[in-house]
Amino acid sequence: MTFSTMLSTMSVGMLRTFLIFALTLIGSLPLGMIVALLKKSRFAVVRGIISVYISIMRGTPLMLQLVAWYFGPYFLFGWNIGSWRFPAIIVGFVLNYAAYFAEIYRGGIESIPVGQYEAAEVLGYTKTQTFMKIILPQVIKVIMPSVTNEVITLVKDTSLAFTLAYQEVFSLAKQISASQTSFMPFLIAGVFYFVANYAVEIIMTRIEGSMDYYK
């Protein structure tokens, strides 16, 4: 198999990897904010449930969670999971990363001085207006470095989809390497991950730079 043929074959896996990455971000970023706000709820039961959820997501391997989400419906309810593989991957990734983003958001929210809330109340802002117009913009600026690290980690974690026999770029690299007894597919996969992470770093750095109030 020539290099161009390998690259062409692995391009399908690259697209699937990007799809996992994009859908995970689209789902986990807003869900993480909801989880962070629920963890600050005045109801102890809600805070307790959210704390357990975060502890489980952060305390168990993502690989194990993916297996549980895929096979769980079959063993628990006897469902046909033939077409459940990709949805299970997305659900597993979204719920896992939402827990990490929630803690990042929570740390950012708690870093804002109480005086900000008091000043907004004096000016007549509602709680929603205070959060959306005053608190959230500051939180985003504070948490950008941590969010960037998580996004970079997500690019690499997409390779865990191979656990459910989903043919993303890493799975295809292993298959081609085994059939062709060549290390080249792994080099192609490595370059893909590096370029993807480099692109993420550039994009996130520019976003962070655009929020620099002192420019």
Instruction: Give the mean model confidence (pLDDT) for residues 118-141.
Output: 86
User: Is residue 104 in some structural domain?
Assistant: yes
pLDDT of 215 above 60: no
Question: Residue 120's domain spans which residues?
Answer: 3-210
* Residues 99, 32: Cα–Cα separation, whole Å: 6
User: Is residue 119 in some structural domain?
Assistant: yes
SS3 state of residue 207: helix
Number of structural domains found in the chain: 1
User: Is residue 116 in some structural domain?
Assistant: yes
pLDDT band of 213, cuts 50, 70, 90:
low
Other Cβ atoms less than 10 A from the Cβ of 151: the count is 21
CATH number, residue 132: 1.10.3720.10
Q: Is 31 exposed, middle or buried (0-12, 13-18, 19+ CB in 10 A)?
A: middle
**Each residue of 20-63: pLDDT tens digit?**
999 999 999 999 999 999 998 889 999 999 999 999 999 999 99
User: Is residue 62 in some structural domain?
Assistant: yes
pLDDT band of 79, cuts 50, 70, 90:
confident
pLDDT of 149 above 80: yes
pLDDT band of 136, cuts 50, 70, 90:
confident
User: Is residue 215 in some structural domain?
Assistant: no
Packing angle, helices 136-157 and 3-39, rounded to 10: 140
- pTM to 2 decimal places: 0.90
Residues 6+ apart with CB under 8 A from 65: 57, 92, 95, 96
User: Is residue 77 in some structural domain?
Assistant: yes
Torsion angle (degrees, nearest 10) of CA 166, 168, 171, 176? 120
User: Is residue 106 in some structural domain?
Assistant: yes
Under 8 Å between Cβ of 12 and 171: no
> Phi and psi (nearest 5°) for 213?
-70, -15
* Residues 36, 74: Cα–Cα separation, whole Å: 31
User: Is residue 122 in some structural domain?
Assistant: yes
| pLDDT: which is higher, 8 or 214 | 8
